[in-house]
Amino acid sequence: MSLREEIIELINESVSDSDNEEFFRNPLVGFSSANDPLYNDLKEIVGPHHFHPQDILPEAKTVVSFFIPFSKEVVASNRKGEYCSREWAESYVKANGLIDHISNKLIHYLAGKDIKAATIKATHTYDERTLKSAWSHRSAAYIAGLGRFGLNRMIISKAGSAGRYGSVVISQEIEGDKRPEEYICTYYKNGKCKICVDACPVKALHIDGFDRFKCYDRLLENAKRFQDIGLCDACGKCVVACPFATI
């Protein structure tokens, strides 16, 4: 079995072994070269603070990106009301834990093969003042060919956009995957839809911009409602309203 296949198998098994069928569907895995010029471009697009893979692991050769898609039931549960559903809050917390668990398990597995690896947590790595992180899992997912951005700023994969992404930077070369040419987002295809913009309960999302602080205030409101579950700074109305939340 190739290293690519071993990594995909490890991630698939980790999700199925997590006994969360009611929350998650089968994961997707993509690979990008750490030397892909787009990682340099991110220092322009996101800002000079954005890490290059070699800032995370000096010996970086490849970035492994993976997506854990939420189940149709979780997505349906969050289509009602203006505050996020308990199922969405639970899947948010469980996915963050599972992403960090899988990333560390992969690092350990690769160490057994003398392959160096490093990761960035699923979330809560941002500067509270700017609400920006030094690593964009969704930009890495784009570079690894897992999907394209939607107007709701989510990466829409072939399994949809409802779910969460992780990244592991490794010192072994694995050929990068091809990026999809076509947009899935209807707005980027023909200027129509915009259902995500209308679905935002706090009007933070616009076709020409995003007020991340207004969004964050709503996430913190939701977090107060589900303290028994854990830190649920989530919402997802702009995600579940999209016809491509699950594919």
| Residues in contact with ligand B12 by the rule CB under 6 A | 38, 41, 45-46, 92, 122-123, 125-126, 131-133, 135-139, 142-143, 149, 152-155, 161, 163-165, 205, 210, 212, 215-216, 219, 234-236, 238-239
* Minimum distance of ligand B12 from residue 105's CB (angstroms): 17
Please say which residue, 117 or 154, places its beta carbon nearer to ligand B12: 154
Between 3 and 194, CB nearer to ligand B12: 194
CB of 157 to ligand B12, least distance (A): 8
Cα–Cα distance measured from residue 200 to residue 147, given in angstroms and rounded to the nearest whole number: 22
> For ligand B12, which is the closer residue by CB, 7 or 165?
165
Instruction: For ligand B12, give the closer residue by CB, 167 or 172.
Output: 167
User: What is the strand order of the sheet 62-69 is part of?
Assistant: 28-33, 62-69, 163-170, 117-119
Contact present, 14 and 98 (Cβ < 8 Å): yes
Least distance (Å) between residue 241 CB and ligand B12? 11
Shortest separation between residue 58's beta carbon and ligand B12, angstroms: 20
For residue 142, the tally of other CB atoms under 10 A from its CB is 22
* Length of the chain as a residue count: 247
- Closer residue to ligand B12 (CB): 113 or 214: 214
Q: Do 207 and 192 contact (CB within 8 A), yes or no? A: no
Minimum Å gap between C-beta 68 and ligand B12 is 8
- As a whole number of angstroms, the distance between CA 230 and CA 245 comes to 24
Q: Which H or E run contains 69?
A: strand 62-69
